[in-house]
Structure 1
Amino acid sequence: MGISEIIGVALLLACLVIGWLAVRRLRLIRIGGVDVALRRVRASAPGSTRGWNLGVGRYRGDEFVWYRVISLGAGANVVLSRLDLEIVDRRRPGSTEEYVVPADSTVLRCRDGERIVELAMTPGVLTGFLSWLEAAPPGRFGGYRKAS
């Protein structure tokens, strides 16, 4: 096998992976997904965070499931429970974050049990997210609450 065949196979594989990612994202958006950027914040090291990841979020009953855009896995990467979710802070993206989060985003710092994540979403997506939080069934705690 010559170098041209190896390059051809590599390009074919790259095209297949890109095609898979595009089809996956379109499928998630078509079944009710919204564009949301997510960043995990380590509880053990308050100043240490991983970078922002673009993804698609979906509402599934009492869960907000988030799928990373650049992932070959079929399952959700992060699952947040509406009943345990607490919004700790709301802010505008910093100057270093503006290029990686959706345009005109608001960043929510959320706590789900011991895990802390930040979600960046556009105004329309934010309105839907807050409405979903407030729509917890009667007798079950959930919704927007700010830590004291």
Structure 2
Amino acid sequence: MTWWEWLLDACGALLLLCVLYGAGLIVRRRLLSRNGGTFELSHRYRMDTPERGWVLGLGRYSGERLEWFRVFTLSRRPKRSWRRDELKYDGRREPLGAEQASLYPDHLVIRCQSPQGPVELAMSVSSLTGFQSWLEARPPGTDWNRVKGSGPS
């Protein structure tokens, strides 16, 4: 076999791997959305540098949890997960500077507080409406005084 035949074989194998990876991402997305709809949800993974650290992903509500999955991985496990009773919505803002290129178009940055510290997520306006509804729709028997922090002194 000559060198160019080896090169063609290597290119063909590389192309096959890329096609299989793409098909794997499509199948994974279908499997994730089977247990409840997914929506585009980016997460600011590193908060040490302003306007940086965003990772594109998918969000899914799973009972009392918001699960976050990276877009370009084949894993079916969420990379991050937050319990509903641990998240407190803290406001929203428009993406700034480099964030506009890092996030999906027309997404807003929202800030939440959790026991582990601040959490920044980016989602569309319609997804934000669903997120706020999900946060407010706590199950029956929830101690609203404890949740809102306005319990008796």
Give TM-score scaled by structure 1 length: 0.81
Q: Distance in 1 between matches of 2:117 and 2:26?
A: 29
Higher gyration radius (CA): 2
8 Å Cα contact 1:56-1:66 kept in structure 2: yes
TM-aligned CA deviation for residue 15 of structure 1: 1.2
Q: Where do 1:2-41 residues align within 5 Å?
A: 2-29=6-33, 31-41=36-46
Q: Distance in 2 between matches of 1:132 and 1:73?
A: 25
Q: Please say if 1:64 is aligned against 2:70.
A: no
Give TM-score scaled by structure 2 length: 0.79
Which one of 108, 111, 117 corresponds to residue 119 of structure 2?
Answer: 117
Structure 2 residue matching 1:74: 3-state secondary structure: coil
> CA 1:87–1:141 in 2, change beyond 3 Å: closer, same or farther?
farther
Q: Distance in 2 between matches of 1:140 and 1:126?
A: 22
8 Å Cα contact 2:52-2:99 kept in structure 1: no
TM-aligned CA deviation for residue 50 of structure 1: 5.7
Query: Mean alpha-carbon deviation: is it higher for 93-102 or for 53-62?
Result: 93-102
CA-based RMSD = 2.5
TM-aligned CA deviation for residue 27 of structure 1: 3.7
Structure 2 residue matching 1:139: 3-state secondary structure: coil
8 Å Cα contact 2:67-2:78 kept in structure 1: yes
Q: How many residues align?
A: 142
TM-aligned CA deviation for residue 90 of structure 1: 1.8
Which one of 101, 104, 109 corresponds to residue 102 of structure 1?
Answer: 104
TM-aligned CA deviation for residue 63 of structure 1: 0.2
8 Å Cα contact 2:67-2:81 kept in structure 1: yes
8 Å Cα contact 2:94-2:109 kept in structure 1: yes
The one-letter amino acid paired with 1:125 is S
> CA 1:68–1:141 in 2, change beyond 3 Å: closer, same or farther?
farther
Structure 2 residue matching 1:65: 3-state secondary structure: strand
Structure 1 residue matching 2:21: 3-state secondary structure: helix
> CA 1:10–1:141 in 2, change beyond 3 Å: closer, same or farther?
farther
8 Å Cα contact 2:109-2:122 kept in structure 1: yes
More helix per residue: 2
Structure 2 residue matching 1:70: 3-state secondary structure: coil
